Amino acid sequence: MGQIVPGAVERYLASLNRQSDAVLLDIARAGATADLPLIDAEVGVLLRVLVTAVGARRVLEIGTAAGYSGIWIARALPADGLLLTMELAPERVTMARANFERAGVAERVHVMTGDASLLVNKVAGPFDLIFQDGPKQHYVPMLDRLIALLRPGGLLVTDNVLWDGEVVPGYVEPPRRDPADTAAIVEYNRRINSDPRLTTSIVPLRDGVAVSVRGPE
């Protein structure tokens, strides 16, 4: 905690967050024990705000893990909405499906098992919001396809774009993250901030969340 935003400020923000519920708290606790890389509750609320703000009915997520971020998203969808979420590891898919059931959102969630960089070519858009939280080295190669799947005015939301501050040369010495992942995120940030199809703002919340809107075009 506190690598980007000072720890005291992060604790203050966390203390204001009253949005969580028993299922989410339980998954977060189990995720921490099992060392699962889940989003933080503050990013969960941001996702919920964004899904609600764009009136999303169809959402695509890359990287399901145990379904934690998916539940934040699905709870903000209308009853006939759809979250399509993709996960490579079959044991995580099993865990996520059970958690979606427990959270009462399974009817509006469809989990696809496999490599998301291939699966995205098998699904049809448009999506109102896409949450990219998969492998960092897939961010750039998947970008064009994800933009194509997004409706005009839709949002591409990407987690971990500040990578504990390591995207800033010399900020973390010695670096702790895989340099190939860091380089991939640096290049991704450059692209989403210069691509004429997107307008991007990076929110320095937790590990950094990029919010890109498709447009103006």
Ligand X SMILES: C[S@@+](CC[C@H](N)C(=O)[O-])C[C@H]1O[C@@H](n2cnc3c(N)ncnc32)[C@H](O)[C@@H]1O
Binding site for ligand X (CB under 6 A): 37-39, 63, 65, 68-69, 86-89, 92, 115-117, 133-135
- Quote the distance between the C-alpha of residue 127 and its chain's center: 14
Nearest-approach distance from CB 185 to ligand X, in angstroms: 13
Nearest-approach distance from CB 28 to ligand X, in angstroms: 9
Strand partners, 209: 159, 203
Strand partners, 131: 61, 157
Nearest-approach distance from CB 63 to ligand X, in angstroms: 3
Nearer to ligand X, 145 or 199 (CB): 145
Nearer to ligand X, 43 or 197 (CB): 43
Give the span between the Cα atoms of 131 and 60, in whole angstroms: 6
Nearest-approach distance from CB 6 to ligand X, in angstroms: 23
Nearer to ligand X, 10 or 61 (CB): 61
Element (H, E) at 59: strand 58-62
Is 188 strand, coil or helix? Answer: helix
Nearer to ligand X, 24 or 197 (CB): 24
Give the span between the Cα atoms of 43 and 23, in whole angstroms: 17
Nearer to ligand X, 87 or 128 (CB): 87
Contacts of 87 (CB under 8 A, 6+ apart): 63, 64, 65, 93, 96, 111, 112, 113, 116
Give the span between the Cα atoms of 158 and 202, in whole angstroms: 9
Nearest-approach distance from CB 173 to ligand X, in angstroms: 25
